[in-house]
Amino acid sequence: MERKKVTIHDLTAKKKADKKITMLTAYDFAMASFIDQAGMDMILVGDSLGMVVLGYDSTVPVTMEEMLHHCKAVRRGVNSAFLVGDMPFMSYNTCLEEAIRNAGRFMKEAGCDGVKLEGGLEVVETVRAITQAGIPVMAHIGLTPQTAGKLGGFKVQGKDLASAQNLLDSALALEEAGAFSIVMECIPDKLAGLISKSLKIPTIGIGAGPECDGQVLVTNDLLGLFEKFLPKFVKQYIKLFPTIKEALGNYKSEVETGVFPGREHTFAMEAKDLSRIKVKKKRKV
């Protein structure tokens, strides 16, 4: 039986019922299909694709066109999960009109159910404008990779009183502005729990401990497909990179030694039929 489409109402109801929300990233049709069929509540087409798919050193270079391209592919693999598109750096930072226009493209062109953008108090009015335009917004506070340089690098946020207060104030303001959910990244677990209990909307943690209303991970990290580094908050449920590397090496070896393709991989033709084919000789010039 095909499960019904997940809605914002369903996500909010899960928080009220103290049921955890599940979320993973996807960047293509195949992985989106796997994740959707696994029953995940939400799928995020994260700008993390810049690093794990496109090979950039950070998420900053990712463009709107790249995000839309991957969101369209993911959309074709999703039937039930709530699909969120990540707004890339500088797609919502210049003016409200451009922010609304770009957010609208995720909905109209890519078929997303909502968008995500990074920032705290500084993006509250942007969130308000986009939601008032009828576009659901997921906020993102704590470690915000697009502006990690401003935060002093990829570090845990909210460890001192002032920054912890700022994160709580930001979360409350973003909820008031209309955000339907908030991702909290690299925040101390007890602070994340306090923020979660202070909000009516669901919180989704990544490196923010178990007291959030749900969890999200980069799927490539979870599956052991990204080898450059492994954040502390990631649990690898399988390590596919060595397995894939071995399989590719075996293929290379078998092709070079003539083991592959074997008879079982070959389409046969009768010798008598082959003999009836005439090979035309090249005419001498």
- Which candidate in 65, 118, 185, 254 is catalytic? 185
21 CB-near residues (< 8 Å, 6+ apart) = 11, 14, 15, 41, 42, 202, 204, 213, 214, 215
| Residue recorded with tokens 């493209």 | 105
Omega cis (within 30) before 145 = no
C-alpha to C-alpha distance for 130 and 35, rounded to whole angstroms: 28
Active site residue 185: yes
117 CB-near residues (< 8 Å, 6+ apart) = 86, 87, 92, 99, 123, 126, 127, 130, 137, 138, 139, 140
154 CB-near residues (< 8 Å, 6+ apart) = 143, 145, 148, 186
- Each as own residue / partner, the long-range contacts of residues 215-218 (CB below 8 Å, 24 or more positions apart, any chain) are 215/20, 215/21, 215/22, 215/23, 216/23, 216/24, 216/25, 216/42, 216/44, 216/183, 217/24, 217/25, 218/24, 218/25, 218/46, 218/48, 218/52
Instruction: Provide the annotated active-site residues.
Output: 185
